[in-house]
Amino acid sequence: MNKPNFKSEQEKFWAGEFGDQYQSRNPENFEFGSRAALFSRILSRTGPLNSIIEFGPNIGNNLKVLRLMQPQAKLTGVEINVQAAQRLQAWGQAEVINQSILDFKPARSWDMGFVSGVLIHINPDFLAEVYRQLYTVALRYICLIEYYNPVPVEMNYRGHAGKLFKRDFCSEIIGLYPNLKMLDYGFVYHRDPVFPLDDLTWFLLEKR
Question: What does the pLDDT read at residue 24?
Answer: 73
What's the rounded Cα separation, in Å, for the pair 53 and 43? 14
Q: Is 99 among the domain residues?
A: yes
Question: What does the pLDDT read at residue 65?
Answer: 97
What's the rounded Cα separation, in Å, for the pair 3 and 126? 20
Q: Reply yes or no on whether the pLDDT at 2 is more than 60.
A: no
Q: What is the DSSP string of 96-128?
A: EEES-GGG---SS-EEEEEEES-GGGS-GGGHH
Q: Is 1 among the domain residues?
A: no
Q: Reply yes or no on whether the pLDDT at 112 is more than 60.
A: yes
Name the domain count of the chain.
Answer: 1
The alpha carbon torsion through 47, 95, 104, 46 (nearest 10 deg) reads 0
How far, rounded to the nearest angstrom, does the alpha carbon of residue 152 sit from its chain's CA centroid? 19
Strand pairing class (160-166; 153-157)? antiparallel
Q: What is the pLDDT of residues 128-178, one digit of tens each?
A: 999 999 999 999 999 999 999 999 999 999 999 999 999 999 999 999 999
Domain enclosing residue 98, as ranges: 9-207
Q: Is 4 among the domain residues?
A: no
Q: Is 56 among the domain residues?
A: yes
What's the rounded Cα separation, in Å, for the pair 41 and 48? 13
- Mean pLDDT calculated for residue range 167-192: 98
The residues that bridge with 146 in the sheet, in sequence order, are 201
pLDDT tier for residue 1 given thresholds of 50, 70 and 90: very low
Q: Is 140 among the domain residues?
A: yes
CATH code of residue 50:
3.40.50.150
Question: What does the pLDDT read at residue 3?
Answer: 59
What's the rounded Cα separation, in Å, for the pair 54 and 117? 11
- Mean pLDDT calculated for residue range 99-114: 97
What's the rounded Cα separation, in Å, for the pair 140 and 180? 9
Q: What is the pLDDT of residues 16-47, one digit of tens each?
A: 998 788 877 666 676 999 999 999 999 999 99
Q: Reply yes or no on whether the pLDDT at 72 is more than 60.
A: yes
